[in-house]
Amino acid sequence: MKYYTSTTEFNCGIDLHSREMYMCLVDHEGQKLVHTNIKGNDFGYFLKKVAPYRHSLTVCCECTFNWYWLADACEEAGMTFVLAHALYMKAIHGGKNKNDRIDSEKIAHLLRSNLVPPSYVYPAAKRPIRGLLRQRTSYVWKRAALLTHMAMNQLAEGMEPVKHTPVDRGPWEERLMTAYSDNPFHQASAHADLYMIKAYDEMIDKLETQLLKITKRDSWKEFAIIQSVPGIGNILGLTILYELDTTERFPSVKDFSSYCRLVKGSVASAGKIKGTRGAKLGNPYLRWAFGEAAVLAKRSHSMIRSYCQQLEAKHGKFKGNAILANKLARAVYY
């Protein structure tokens, strides 16, 4: 775990919510100078409260879902902003009582004591396109859930699920309706799922076209380099490009592998390893992307397939794929 080193005289911790934020400002010795709740997230009022201390001030909040606007506002105001890793912070500042007032003060003292585990402040200019890509990914997962629902309905009725591929979508729909021909309610359920699947297909294609157009215009070189790695095509390349942003944010390839959830932390005591932890610390989208890339690379590349077979024989199929995914991530990093 790495910590942020504060170099300013004053430090401000903020417990941020959707409609209010509790702030605590302390000096270098830990004396509280401002400790108040700000209704409506009024940043203008916040600036008035911290005005005497802005010449040497660092602001910190946890990386909850709504931190974007605060990071941008602090940058525009010329104040240093630190984004704290929420899961790491939860492990650090425990206590019997917990509320907004206590949390804001603890964040301020952790910042003053150089005990804040920082998260990456993703550039504001790239956030919209990353959000659009994540939205497309959510549509793909929801579409898959609909297909699973249809298959489960068929299995529940003792039928073999009607399989299909993207090239025979029309005949597949006809076979599906034929399988449900005995019951009008089953047909109605299948029609509803098919309607939503078609809507998702249309929107997924539109978003993919738009994302590729923007990427080939603005980041074609980086995109081409990422796609040179076996198993990485358009969608996986887009995911890695926009979730990674830049390799300069990672001091070493080990930090990058850890961020991709491709390696786990260990729990040790008295020189003995008790187990692993930290499986959910990191970026789930990169973990998914490199996992998919490993499967595709093994399927399409003869040398990688041979190498992965050796890994599977030694470590098992699941761990062999994980090792291969880590290898691909290291290749992307370099």
Q: Residue range 71-78: average pLDDT? A: 95
Residue 233 lies in a domain: no
Q: Are residues 102 and 50 in the same domain?
A: yes
Q: Are residues 198 and 104 in the same domain?
A: no
Domain boundary among 218, 248, 267: 218
For 105-203, list the strands marked E by DSSP.
Answer: 118-119
Residue 229 lies in a domain: no
What pLDDT score does 269 carry? 75
Task: List, in sequence order, the alpha helices (H) in 271-301.
Answer: 284-300
Number of domains in the chain: 3
Q: Are residues 63 and 109 in the same domain?
A: yes
Give pLDDT tens digits for 133-179.
Answer: 999 999 999 999 998 888 888 888 887 877 776 666 667 777 777 77
Give the mean pLDDT of the chain: 89
Structure tokens at 58: 């660092």
Q: pLDDT category, 91, cuts 50, 70, 90?
A: low
Q: Are residues 192 and 284 in the same domain?
A: no
Domain boundary among 82, 101, 119: 119
Residue 1 lies in a domain: no
Q: Are residues 174 and 134 in the same domain?
A: yes
Q: Residue range 287-312: average pLDDT? A: 93
Q: Are residues 92 and 161 in the same domain?
A: no
Residue 230 lies in a domain: no
Most confident of 78-82, 88-92, 101-105, 306-310: 78-82
What pLDDT score does 207 carry? 96
Residue 226 lies in a domain: no
What is the rounded distance in angstroms from the CA atom of residue 187 to the CA atom of residue 173?
A: 11
Structure tokens at 140: 């793909």
pLDDT score of 118 more than 70: yes
Q: Are residues 164 and 195 in the same domain?
A: yes
Q: pLDDT category, 272, cuts 50, 70, 90?
A: confident
Residue 231 lies in a domain: no
What pLDDT score does 209 carry? 96
Structure tokens at 232: 């990485």
Element (H, E) at 58: strand 57-62
Q: What pTM value is reported for the model?
A: 0.86
Beta carbons of 112 and 11 less than 8 angstroms apart? yes
Q: Residue range 312-333: average pLDDT? A: 93
Q: Residue range 3-17: average pLDDT? A: 95
Regarding predicted confidence, which is higher, 99 or 57? 57
Q: Are residues 181 and 137 in the same domain?
A: yes
Share of the chain above pLDDT 70, in %: 94
Give pLDDT tens digits for 35-57.
Answer: 999 999 999 999 999 999 999 99
Residue 185 lies in a domain: yes
Q: Are residues 107 and 134 in the same domain?
A: no
What pLDDT score does 137 carry? 94
Domain boundary among 98, 119, 140: 119
Q: Are residues 51 and 136 in the same domain?
A: no
Give the domain extent around 145: 127-218
Contacts of 333 (CB under 8 A, 6+ apart): 247, 250, 253, 256, 257
What pLDDT score does 95 carry? 66
Q: Are residues 100 and 131 in the same domain?
A: no
Residue 23 lies in a domain: yes
Give pLDDT tens digits for 172-230.
Answer: 777 777 776 677 888 888 889 889 998 999 999 999 999 999 999 999 999 999 999 99
The Cβ-side half-sphere exposure at 252, using a 13 Å CA radius, reads: 4
Task: Check which CATH number belongs to the domain holding 78 and give it.
Answer: 3.30.420.10
Q: pLDDT category, 252, cuts 50, 70, 90?
A: very high
Q: Are residues 197 and 278 in the same domain?
A: no
pLDDT score of 296 more than 90: yes
